[in-house]
Amino acid sequence: MAVSSQSKGNNALRSDKSSAKYTQERVIETALLTVASLAVASIALIFVLLLYQGLQGLTFFGGDIQPNQFWSITTEKEDLVRNPDGSIKTDSEGDFVYEKKQVISSDWQPTSSQLPQYSLIPLLIGSLKVALPSAILAALIGVFVAIYLSELASVRVREVVKPILELLAGVPSVVLGFFALVTIASFVEWITHIPVIFEFLSQTPVLNRLFFPACTFAEGSDLQSVCLSRSQALGVTGGYLNVMVGALGVALVIIPVIATIAEDALRAVPDSIRDASMALGGSRWQTAFSAVVPAAVSGLAAAVILGLGRSLGETMIVLMATGNASITNLNLLDSGRAITATIAAELGESPAGGDHYNALFFIGGVLFIFTFVLNIIGEIVINRARQKVRGGS
């Protein structure tokens, strides 16, 4: 990688180590090394700080959050104790008696005055509800566009499509968030109201759980009939801003990401493989699909993994377009609250050093680890793929 020719340069200097120039060179190199270490230092500092601040909220470190609150699906709630006859039990002084009960619930309600709740479950589900659909959609479109551009399109077409894709890559996410808010939201509402599409989404077994859960009940039940009226079903399941709107917006961010990495992977496939396929009589399409794509498949996988990492970390679109209610369900036409949006929405109103503030750093740390791991996996897969393609040529 490096074009360093330092050995030559330094040999001349080494003959006289006491010279001012030699000292100057060493000082400069050390200074450069120090500056270069800043990148390493900052990523380490980010991680340490998230971890440190995030753990401050836990009971071991002086906070009030029980560690199991983060992942528990039950919550302790104070409740009035009732006598066997149903009346409210009072103690000798006439005050109500409370008892602590385990209730099944997993909420993110850090500002609740009685019992703040810090379950990560709704946030994780919220993040995945946005990230997975957007990554799947963007993977389909991004990889197909990459195959088209790299293998099949003429040079002229490439010269038109590539810059337009680069334009999309340069669009700030807040702009796409705004677009999602004003245009994609209406589009989603319109398209889910189209009778054929509504029937399809609400009557197909798996899809109806994701889009119209009210329609999953047995035939003939009341809910089934509710479901048959579209507007009511849409009224039941979420509003104008929902996870699907956010996911479509996020897909626009990661399509160029996936397409660029996927195209690099395809272009890294040596021409000898294409030539061999062509020489055997394969058409351009056969060559693309049976020779080039299989050779580049790990690179394509890496593109999708890196795209997923980006979509998990996307903030502004999710904040602006998904509605942000912390709801634990799988309905894509319902509101959802992703980790990123939670931090963005709540950090401003949480006093520094409090439990809520620390909990936001904790979920920031969780997000950091997720994206870090996805990036590392992506990098490893890309490097392996590069070596394989080079070695195989």
Partner 1 sequence: MVMDTPLSATSQGSDPQIQAFKKARENFLAGLLSGMSWLLVAFIILFLLTITINGWPTVSANGFEFLYTSPDKGLDEGGVGPAIFGTIALVVLMTFFALPVGVFTSIYLVEYAGGKPFSRIIRAAVNNLAGVPSIVFGLFGVAFFVLFIGRGLDGLLGYSLANPLWGKPALLWAALTMALLVLPIVIVNTEEALLAVPVSLRSASLALGATQWETISRVVLPQAIPGILTGSILSISRGAGEVAPILFTGAAFLLQDLPVFPGTVIIDPSKQFMELGYHIFILATQSSDVEKTRPAQYASTFVLLAITFFLNFAAIILRSQFRKRAIR
Q: Which is nearer to partner 1, 115 or 160 (CB)?
A: 160
CA distance 2 to 18: 28
Q: Within 180-219, which residues bind partner 1 (CB under 8 A)?
A: 181-183
CB of 24 to partner 1, least distance (A): 7
Calculate the CA dihedral of residues 113, 118, 121, 123 and round it to 10 degrees. 80
| Under 8 Å between Cβ of 344 and 224 | no
CB of 209 to partner 1, least distance (A): 27
Binder to partner 1 among 68, 100, 285, 392 (CB under 8 A)? 285
Give the end-to-end CA distance of the chain in Å, rounded to a whole number: 20
State the pairing for strand pair 74-80/98-104: antiparallel
Q: Within 310-369, which residues bind partner 1 (CB under 8 A)?
A: 310, 312-316, 319-320, 340, 343-344, 347-348, 352, 360-361, 364, 367-368
CB of 166 to partner 1, least distance (A): 7
CA distance 256 to 263: 10
CB of 146 to partner 1, least distance (A): 9
Calculate the CA dihedral of residues 323, 327, 328, 334 and round it to 10 degrees. -40
Binder to partner 1 among 109, 289, 325, 329 (CB under 8 A)? 289
Binder to partner 1 among 277, 298, 322, 326 (CB under 8 A)? 277
Q: Which is nearer to partner 1, 36 or 197 (CB)?
A: 36
Token reading at 324? 């942000």
CA distance 61 to 355: 11
Q: Does 144 bind partner 1 (CB under 8 A)?
A: yes
Q: Is the C-alpha dihedral spanning 201, 301, 184, 317 positive or negative?
A: positive
Binding segment toward partner 1, per CB under 8 A, in 90-98, 166-174, 215-223, 328-336:
166-174
Binder to partner 1 among 152, 191, 194, 297 (CB under 8 A)? 152
Binder to partner 1 among 163, 195, 220, 391 (CB under 8 A)? 163
State the pairing for strand pair 108-109/117-118: antiparallel
Binder to partner 1 among 124, 149, 236, 302 (CB under 8 A)? 149
CB of 352 to partner 1, least distance (A): 6
Q: Does 273 bind partner 1 (CB under 8 A)?
A: no
Q: Which is nearer to partner 1, 12 or 80 (CB)?
A: 12
Binder to partner 1 among 57, 110, 299, 309 (CB under 8 A)? 309
Cβ burial of 20 (10 Å; 0-12, 13-18, 19+) is exposed
CA distance 189 to 375: 34
Q: Does 302 bind partner 1 (CB under 8 A)?
A: no
CA distance 192 to 245: 12
Q: Which is nearer to partner 1, 6 or 74 (CB)?
A: 6
| Under 8 Å between Cβ of 75 and 115 | yes
Binder to partner 1 among 226, 372, 377, 388 (CB under 8 A)? 372
CA distance 77 to 81: 12
> How far from 227 is each of 24, 124, 222, 331, CA to CA, in Å?
78, 28, 9, 14
Q: Within 20-59, which residues bind partner 1 (CB under 8 A)?
A: 21, 24-25, 28-29, 31-33, 35-40, 42-46, 49-50, 53
CB of 161 to partner 1, least distance (A): 6
Q: Which is nearer to partner 1, 126 or 309 (CB)?
A: 309
